[in-house]
């Protein structure tokens, strides 16, 4: 177990929200779960999640160690397999599904489903909590994800991502009208110092990040766009689109929430890579899911 000691400022913020900003590795629901379990003490006493903090309050957060692999249980969950062979598989992740177990999401994740489907035969390079996971997409981003069954395949695919030869194309609904039909955002991304839960364009402790975008359809107040990643940073498309004034529709972190839409309207539509065993280039494309299609119909008729 890891213990984190913090001293509250005088913001008067709710405990769960404040801790989420201070501990970006935890989701808000993860923080709330720890509070409910009595793992957060304020001035030596178990705290309530709606506690309003006062300046100088002393907090002790007890974060459990990651569960060993034997405790991450295989679960027979719906899993859309787009392609599979002895080295790897490509899955189409639904919106709302978490990729791997974390605080607040101990099960029901893509990893739980993969352990069941692959009978535990997944690469081990990313550790016991993320077996097979070569790259990730956010909980509320849908679409294609690469999974490695062997360490050899994992290393080969990771090198392609690092070398920018791994094709990743997304489609999204962005807010506002674009002046140009296409463009490139070349701006470094790092952790926000104002809100540790967020990423931002910054020069401080940042990593190089490039997103290419093209407008597929321009509506009155929104646009259907395609984004191609040259790099793969945390929340890259969401941060870059916000940076140029076009946040992703429904993004309640970098933009504005939309009633009836759970998070951002962003879909990982296409991936392409050189197969680590055969050496052949392979490319996969997924249809836009229903939530995305319905959102497109909605924004098409927004004129005011």
Burial class, 82, CB count within 10 angstroms (exposed 0-12 / middle 13-18 / buried 19+): middle
All domains in the chain, ordered by first residue: 2-63 (3.10.290.10), 67-163 (3.30.2350.10), 164-304 (3.30.2350.10)
Catalytic-role residue among 138, 186, 195, 290? 138
Give the mean model confidence (pLDDT) for residues 44-58.
88
Q: Are 93 and 146 in contact (CB under 8 A)?
A: no
- Residue 166: pLDDT band (50, 70, 90) is very high
Which DSSP string corresponds to 53-97?
A: P-TT-EEEEEEPPPPPGGGS--------EEEE-SSEEEEEEPTT-
| Rounded Cα distance, 216 and 293, in Å | 14
Give the mean model confidence (pLDDT) for residues 268-283.
97
Predicted local distance difference test score (pLDDT) of residue 65:
67
Predicted local distance difference test score (pLDDT) of residue 125:
76
Task: Kindly report, residue by residue over 87-139, the tens digit of the pLDDT.
Answer: 999 999 999 998 877 766 778 899 999 999 998 789 887 766 678 889 989 99
138 is known as an active-site residue:
yes
Predicted local distance difference test score (pLDDT) of residue 266:
98
Q: What is the pTM of this model?
A: 0.76
Predicted local distance difference test score (pLDDT) of residue 244:
98
Q: CB-hemisphere CA count at 13 Å for 148?
A: 26
For the cut 90, the answer to whether the pLDDT of residue 26 exceeds it is: no
Give the mean model confidence (pLDDT) for residues 217-229.
97
Which DSSP string corresponds to 4-39?
A: EEEE--SS--BHHHHHHHH-TTS-HHHHHHHHHTT-
């Amino acid at each position: 177990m890891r213990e984190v000691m913090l001293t509250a400022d005088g913001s008067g913020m709710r405990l769960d929200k404040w801790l989420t900003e201070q501990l970006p590795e935890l989701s808000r629901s993860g923080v709330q779960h720890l509070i409910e379990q009595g793992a957060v003490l304020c001035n030596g006493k178990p705290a309530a999640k709606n506690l309003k903090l006062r300046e100088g309050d002393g907090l002790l957060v007890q974060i459990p160690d990651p569960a060993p692999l034997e405790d991450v249980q295989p679960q027979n969950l719906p899993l859309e397999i787009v392609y599979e062979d002895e080295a790897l598989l490509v899955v189409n992740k639904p919106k709302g599904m978490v990729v791997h177990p974390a605080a607040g999401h101990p099960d029901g994740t893509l990893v739980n489903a993969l352990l069941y489907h692959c009978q535990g035969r997944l690469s081990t390079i990313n550790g016991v909590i993320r077996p097979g996971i070569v790259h990730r997409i956010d909980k509320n981003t849908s679409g294609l994800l690469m999974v490695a069954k062997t360490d050899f395949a994992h290393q080969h695919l990771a090198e392609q991502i690092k070398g920018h030869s791994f094709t990743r194309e997304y489609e999204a609904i962005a807010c506002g009208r674009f002046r140009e039909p296409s463009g490139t955002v070349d701006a470094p991304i790092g952790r926000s110092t104002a809100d540790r839960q967020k990423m931002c364009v910054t020069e401080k402790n940042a990593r190089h990040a490039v997103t290419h975008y093209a407008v597929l359809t321009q509506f009155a107040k929104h646009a259907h766009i395609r984004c191609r990643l040259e790099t793969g940073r945390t929340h890259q498309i969401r941060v870059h689109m916000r940076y140029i004034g076009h946040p992703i529709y429904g993004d309640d972190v970098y933009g504005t929430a939309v009633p009836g839409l759970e998070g951002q309207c962003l879909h990982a539509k296409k991936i392409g890579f050189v197969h680590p065993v055969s050496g052949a280039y392979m490319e996969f494309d997924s249809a836009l899911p229903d939530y995305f299609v319905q959102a497109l119909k909605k924004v098409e008729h927004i004129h005011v």
